[in-house]
Chain A
Amino acid sequence: MHRPFYFRSTFAVCLLLLAAADVPMFAQDTPTSSKLPLRVTLVLTPEFCATRMARGSQTSKFGFEVGKAACEEFEPTLKEAFASVTTTSEAPKTGDIQLILIPKFVDVGSTVGMTAFSNRELDVILQWTVKDLSGTTIWIGTVQGSAKHHQGNMFTYKKNLKLIVDDAVKDLASQSAIRMSCSAELRKLSQQM
């Protein structure tokens, strides 16, 4: 719903991020468009889509169902960052694509609300590996998606859990698209291809 507005401001966000980060701003790094003119394949394996992240003594059975939400959210969001995005369940060896995007969940952290009405925070960390068709790694980036929601009581806990996971993954997808759009290496590559 908010995606078009979000990506209209990608250019500004890119500039702000580059200014705030340690990354120096070079003339060739200046983004000319929010979309990278690259044809990419997004690799969403069945294992990735089934990922449940647990923390500490929590068992994965009761973990956060981040994989399912990511597999629904990533393709439409990344289409705002690249000229063409296709999704496959395994890394392709050939095809009319230029880059392969491989996501991997790294970690998850969440606070515990004191009452049903107190907010709990969820942070999901994901690593992106971008390779070319020969298998050479072009770029690696780690992004964090965060969300806050009420903990909920015994009747609303499950619903609130889904809400916080969905929101954190939406944030993760948006952060991923911004990071890739802002990447000096990917922008340089798109000019060469």
Chain B
Amino acid sequence: MWRVRLTAISAFLLVPLAFAAATFPAYPIKQAKECPVSAENAGLVVGLEPVENSETQENYFHTELAKKGFVPVFLVIENRTSTNSFIFDKTIVSYGISDSTISTPLTESGAGKAIAVSVIPFVGPFAGVKIISDAAQIQQNLMKKEIQSTTLSPGASVHGFLYVPIPRKTARGKITLRVPISKASTNETFDLNLVF
């Protein structure tokens, strides 16, 4: 009888472990110039690193984003001036195939929303709460790792991911990411183009 009780108690104690919140490691921060692709203008440096390896995607996002039709792109922007402030507005970043003039705004493509939907496997009415819980954690991690709009004061930097749509079944071609930057307090804007 004591063995049954012990098993029951052990099982009860192990349940929280099975359903424990997943931990998502932070992606290692690099300096803009250390990234495989970088561009510079007016003292502002942008570095880009696409994370295409499926194991790396699984490690940092707990899902293979390439299979969902996205490539996570790590972006770091550094203001290396000592006097100027710059504005980075994520909502006007766009991308396009390198050989084409077509440029699609990242936000209008609904990248975030599309990923949010695609990470959730199709689950019927009898879906386990665990599956839903895991999917919600993956979504939240994607959101937290995403780069956000900000004002870069002199010497400041910002980093995070953008999720760029790619073909699911065919190999992707070269993509150009256009990052518009404006000087704070003026309407002066310039683009930094990164090809990867």
Contact = CB atoms under 8 A, between A and B. Distances in A.
A106 interface: yes
25 contacts: A22-B157, A23-B155, A23-B156, A55-B136, A56-B116, A56-B117, A56-B120, A56-B139, A57-B117, A109-B143, A109-B144, A111-B137, A112-B133, A113-B133, A123-B140, A125-B143, A127-B148, A127-B149, A136-B185, A140-B89, A140-B150, A141-B150, A141-B151, A184-B85, A189-B185
B187 A136 contact: yes
Contact of A57 (B120, B155, B182, B185): B120
Query: Looking at B112, B119, B135, B155, which has the most chain A CB atoms within 10 Å of its CB?
Result: B155
B155 A22 contact: yes
B4 interface: no
Nearest to B89: A140
A29 to B, nearest CB: 8
Interface residues of B, number: 38
In this complex, which of A108, A140, A184 has the most chain B Cβ atoms within 10 angstroms of its Cβ?
A: A140
Given A127-B148, A185-B85, A185-B151, A137 B182 contact: yes
Contacts of B88: 140
* Chain B binding surface, main DSSP class: mixed
A114 B133 contact: yes
A7 interface: no
B132 A112 contact: yes
